[in-house]
C-alpha cells in the first residue's frame, strides 16, 4: 500500500472548498492508500499527533498564512517515510518546507494562484517556481485556470486537469425535475460563500435594487469580514427581501438549495479558481448566474446559455437582467435546470473525481524517490 504524506492548510474542523477536497481524499481513499495528514489546527487547542494526523497550532497568522515551526519540521521529517508527497496549494509555508526534502514524488494540487497579495508573492515567487520544477504532477481543477496562470506557464507538460467532485446532495433523487410555479410566485435567489471581497457579494446585493422586491428574495449563506458592511448596504437600501445567514447547518443549507430557484455566485477575481458551491447547485439542478470570467473555472462550470447565464463583469444591472431572464421563462428555466443536473453527473460527481485521483496516486513513479 502506497504511503502518502498529505499536506493541507487545515483539517476537517475548518470549512472551505480546499478543506472539503482534502477531507474527501482522507475519508474516501484511506482504504486504498496509507495516508498521513499534516495540517494546521484551526483553534487554540494543542496539536493532535497520531498515526494518521499531525495538527500543528500556529503561533501567528500573516495574510491568511498560518505560521508554525512544528509544521515545517514535521513536513521535512515525515517526507522521508512516504512514497508520495501530496500538497494543497496555496500554502506558502508548506512549499518552503519542501525546499528541504529529497523526495521527488511531489504532487501539487494547485487550487489557485496567489492572488491579491502582490507584496507577499514577490517574496515567495522563487520558492513557488523551485517547487514546481521539483513536482512530478500539478493538478488543476479546470483547463481555463491552467491556461490563464502565469505561474504555470513553464510546467504545462506536468499539468493534469481533474475537476472537483462532490457527493450527490439530492440523496438519490436523480430524476427530479425542477419547475417554476405560477408567474406571480416569489423567486428565491441563493448564494453561498465566504463574505470576502473577491466573492463580489456587494454586486449581487446591489442587483436586488433592480428586481421587484415582491417577486424576488435573496438569501446569502456565509461568514466573513465583510458581513457588517454588506448588512449596512442592505439596511441603507431598505432591502427587506435580502438576508445573510451565517450560522446554518449543512442539512439546512441543502434544504435551501432544494427549495431555491436560481443560484448566483458573483465572484469578481481569479481568487475564485473554481467555486465548489456552483457544483452543489448543479447537483440540485439549479440554473446558475455568474459574472463572465474566462480565466476562472467558474466559466467552465456555468456554461453561458446552457446551465444559466454569465453577466458582464461587476455590472449589477446586467446581473439582475440575467436573473430575471431565467426566473419567469418556464421553458428556459427547465432547460437550464436539466442541463445543470446533466453537467453535474457528467463532470463533477465524487466517484469520477476519486477515480482520477486514484489513478494519479497509483501511477506516480517510485523510482525517483530519493534521487
Mean pLDDT, residues 249-277 taken together: 94
Cis status of the peptide bond prior to 90, with omega within 30 of 0: yes
- Domains 3-165+350-363 and 187-347 alike in fold: yes
Region of 64 (left: φ > 0; alpha: ψ -120 to 50; beta: rest) is: left
pLDDT the model gives residue 174: 47
- Contact status, residue 319 vs residue 207, Cβ threshold 8 Å: yes
Could you give the 3-state DSSP secondary structure of residue 58? coil
Q: Which residue has the higher pLDDT, 136 or 44?
A: 136
State how far the Cα of 218 lies from the Cα of 241, in Å rounded to an integer: 6
Which cell numbers in the block locate residue 183? 408567474
Phi, psi values for residue 252, rounded to 5°: -70, -40
**How far, in Å, are 161, 222, 307 from residue 302 at the CA level?**
17, 21, 6
Parallel/antiparallel/unpaired status of strands 159-161 and 187-192: unpaired
Least-confidence region, from 95-104, 112-121, 335-344:
112-121
Give 264's strand partners.
Answer: 289
In CATH terms, 3-165+350-363 corresponds, of 3.40.30.10, 3.90.180.10, 3.40.50.2000, 1.10.287.130, to: 3.40.50.2000
**Residue 69 above 70 pLDDT?**
yes
**Residue 241 above 80 pLDDT?**
yes
As a whole number of Å, the end-to-end CA separation of the chain is: 21
pTM over 0.85: yes
**If pLDDT is split at 50, 70 and 90, which confidence band does 370 have?**
very low
Which cell numbers in the block locate residue 174? 436523480
Mean pLDDT, residues 276-303 taken together: 96
Nearest to 243 by CA among 262, 258, 222: 222
Q: Measure CA 44 to chain center.
A: 25
Region of 193 (left: φ > 0; alpha: ψ -120 to 50; beta: rest) is: left
For residue 56, the surrounding DSSP H or E stretch is strand 53-56
Summary mean pLDDT of the chain: 90
State how far the Cα of 235 lies from the Cα of 230, in Å rounded to an integer: 9
**If pLDDT is split at 50, 70 and 90, which confidence band does 51 have?**
low
In CATH terms, 187-347 corresponds, of 1.10.10.10, 3.40.50.2000, 3.40.228.10, 3.30.2270.10, to: 3.40.50.2000
Could you give the 3-state DSSP secondary structure of residue 139? strand
DSSP 8-state code for residue 171 = T
**If pLDDT is split at 50, 70 and 90, which confidence band does 325 have?**
very high
Q: So where are the chain's domains? A: 3-165+350-363, 187-347
Mean pLDDT, residues 115-122 taken together: 68
Parallel/antiparallel/unpaired status of strands 84-89 and 65-67: unpaired
Could you give the 3-state DSSP secondary structure of residue 309? strand
**Residue 369 above 70 pLDDT?**
no
State pLDDT tens for residues 126-182: 999 999 999 999 999 999 898 889 899 999 999 999 999 999 987 555 445 566 655
C-alpha atoms less than 13 angstroms from C-alpha of 129 in its C-beta half-sphere: 10
Region of 367 (left: φ > 0; alpha: ψ -120 to 50; beta: rest) is: alpha
Which ranges in the chain belong to alpha helices (H)? 17-28, 69-79, 92-98, 118-134, 143-148, 201-207, 227-236, 250-259, 276-283, 298-301, 316-327, 330-347, 350-363
- Contact status, residue 152 vs residue 129, Cβ threshold 8 Å: no
pLDDT the model gives residue 203: 98
Nearest to 254 by CA among 196, 192, 300: 192
**Residue 367 above 60 pLDDT?**
no
The DSSP annotation for 121-139 comes to: HHHHHHHHHHHHHH-SEEE
Parallel/antiparallel/unpaired status of strands 65-67 and 60-62: antiparallel
Amino acid at each position: 500500500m502506497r504511503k502518502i504524506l498529505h499536506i493541507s492548510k487545515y483539517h476537517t474542523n475548518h470549512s472551505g472548498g480546499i478543506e472539503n477536497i482534502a477531507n474527501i481524499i482522507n475519508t474516501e481513499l484511506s482504504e486504498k492508500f496509507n495516508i498521513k495528514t499534516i495540517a494546521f489546527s484551526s483553534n487554540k487547542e494543542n496539536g493532535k499527533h497520531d498515526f494518521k494526523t499531525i495538527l500543528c497550532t500556529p503561533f501567528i497568522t500573516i495574510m491568511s498564512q498560518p505560521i508554525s515551526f512544528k509544521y515545517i519540521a514535521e513536513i521535512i521529517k515525515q517526507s522521508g517515510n512516504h512514497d508520495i508527497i501530496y500538497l494543497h496549494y496555496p500554502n506558502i509555508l508548506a512549499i518552503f518546507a519542501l525546499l528541504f526534502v529529497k523526495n521527488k514524488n511531489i504532487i501539487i494540487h494547485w487550487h489557485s494562484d496567489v492572488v491579491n497579495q502582490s507584496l507577499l508573492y514577490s517574496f515567495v515567487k522563487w520558492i513557488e517556481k523551485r517547487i514546481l520544477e521539483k513536482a512530478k504532477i500539478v493538478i488543476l481543477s479546470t483547463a481555463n485556470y491552467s491556461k490563464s496562470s502565469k505561474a504555470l506557464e513553464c510546467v504545462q507538460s506536468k499539468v493534469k486537469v481533474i475537476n472537483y467532485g462532490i457527493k450527490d446532495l439530492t440523496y438519490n433523487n436523480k430524476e427530479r425535475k425542477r419547475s417554476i410555479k405560477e408567474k406571480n410566485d416569489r423567486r428565491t435567489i441563493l448564494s453561498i460563500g465566504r463574505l470576502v471581497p473577491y466573492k463580489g457579494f456587494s454586486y449581487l446585493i446591489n442587483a436586488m435594487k433592480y428586481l421587484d422586491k415582491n417577486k424576488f428574495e435573496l438569501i446569502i449563506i456565509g461568514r466573513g469580514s465583510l458581513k457588517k458592511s454588506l448588512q449596512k448596504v442592505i439596511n441603507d437600501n431598505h432591502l427587506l427581501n435580502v438576508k445573510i445567514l451565517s450560522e446554518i447547518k449543512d442539512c439546512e443549507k441543502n434544504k435551501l438549495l432544494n427549495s431555491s430557484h436560481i443560484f448566483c455566485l458573483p465572484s469578481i477575481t481569479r481568487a475564485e479558481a473554481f467555486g465548489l458551491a456552483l457544483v452543489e447547485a448543479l447537483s440540485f439542478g439549479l440554473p446558475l448566474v455568474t459574472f463572465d470570467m474566462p480565466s476562472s473555472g467558474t466559466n467552465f462550470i456555468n456554461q453561458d446559455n446552457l446551465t444559466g447565464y454569465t453577466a458582464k463583469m461587476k455590472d449589477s444591472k446586467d446581473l439582475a437582467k440575467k436573473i430575471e431572464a431565467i426566473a419567469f421563462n418556464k421553458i428556459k428555466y427547465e432547460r437550464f435546470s436539466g442541463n445543470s443536473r446533466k453537467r453535474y453527473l457528467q463532470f463533477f460527481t465524487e466517484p469520477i473525481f476519486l477515480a482520477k485521483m486514484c489513478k494519479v496516486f497509483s501511477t506516480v513513479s517510485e523510482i525517483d524517490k530519493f534521487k
